[in-house]
């Protein structure tokens, strides 16, 4: 996390912004959904750390993998022990920037389409990703949402043959964060 904080500071260029331009949450929500041919699986995580700098567009989030909750306890166990190996790789992180910052007015309430690009690290593997989403600017907070797909194989997450069909090769990730101004 300390490296992530340093990266966030570099991305946000400390001299140019005030504390009021930083928004963060420690309880953002991420859902992942697997639409397998034999089974639909989803898991929810309400312990997402996310931070946004509205001056520079810097956006980071960090997720504790053990905080993903599945309907089935056995699937949660397999997820942690076999697929993402959460003891070895306890967190997933994203560090990037809003690339169309000029289209978003964080001082005016409204809904704005956003494109975010950066580096996503899961299971110890880092990949460049670009995702579409939106920022819903309110009087006292910013709601950030995005839905994007990832391939498990890209992050060296291998699914045993016995459960092929139960878990899709591509997973849908939904990010939903209520970011409040850092006072």
Partner 1 sequence: MKKFKLWLLILLAAGLLGGTYVWFFVYNKPHRNIETASPDYILTAESFYTHYSNKSTPEGENYDGAVLQISGIPTSIETVDSLRIVVFAFTEGVFGDEGIRCTLLPSHHQYLKSIVPGRPVTLKGLCSGYNGTDVILEQCSIINE
Residues in touch with partner 1 (CB under 8 A) = 1-2, 4-5, 8-9, 24-27, 46-47, 49, 51, 62-64, 66-67, 72-74, 76, 80, 86-87, 90-91, 178, 182
CB of 102 to partner 1, least distance (A): 26
The Cα–Cα gap between 123 and 129 comes to: 15
CB of 103 to partner 1, least distance (A): 26
Spell out where the chain has E strands: 22-35, 40-53, 58-64, 69-70, 91-98, 110-122, 125-137, 141-151, 170-181
Do 64 and 47 meet the contact criterion of CB atoms below 8 Å apart?
yes
Nearest to 75 by CA among 169, 170, 167: 167
CB of 74 to partner 1, least distance (A): 6
CB of 65 to partner 1, least distance (A): 8
CB of 1 to partner 1, least distance (A): 2
Task: Pick the closer one to partner 1 by CB: 115 or 166.
Answer: 166
Q: Which residues pair with 37 in a beta bridge?
A: none
Task: Pick the closer one to partner 1 by CB: 2 or 108.
Answer: 2
């Amino acid at each position: 996390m300390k490296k992530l904080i340093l990266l966030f500071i570099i991305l946000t260029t400390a001299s140019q912004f005030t504390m009021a331009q930083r928004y963060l949450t420690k309880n953002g929500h991420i859902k992942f959904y697997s639409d397998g041919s034999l089974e639909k699986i989803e898991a929810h995580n309400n312990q997402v750390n996310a931070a946004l700098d509205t001056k520079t567009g810097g956006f980071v989030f960090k997720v504790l993998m053990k905080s993903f909750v599945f309907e089935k306890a056995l699937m949660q166990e397999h997820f942690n022990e076999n697929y993402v190996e959460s003891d070895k790789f306890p967190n997933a992180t994203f560090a990037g920037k809003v690339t169309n910052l000029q289209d978003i007015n964080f001082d005016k309430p409204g809904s704005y389409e956003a494109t975010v690009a950066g580096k996503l690290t899961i299971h110890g593997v880092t990949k460049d990703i670009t995702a579409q989403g939106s920022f819903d600017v309110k009087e006292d907070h910013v709601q950030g949402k995005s839905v994007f797909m990832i391939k498990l194989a890209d992050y060296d997450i291998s699914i045993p043959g016995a459960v092929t069909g139960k878990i899709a090769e591509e997973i849908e990730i939904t990010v939903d964060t209520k970011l409040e101004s850092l006072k």
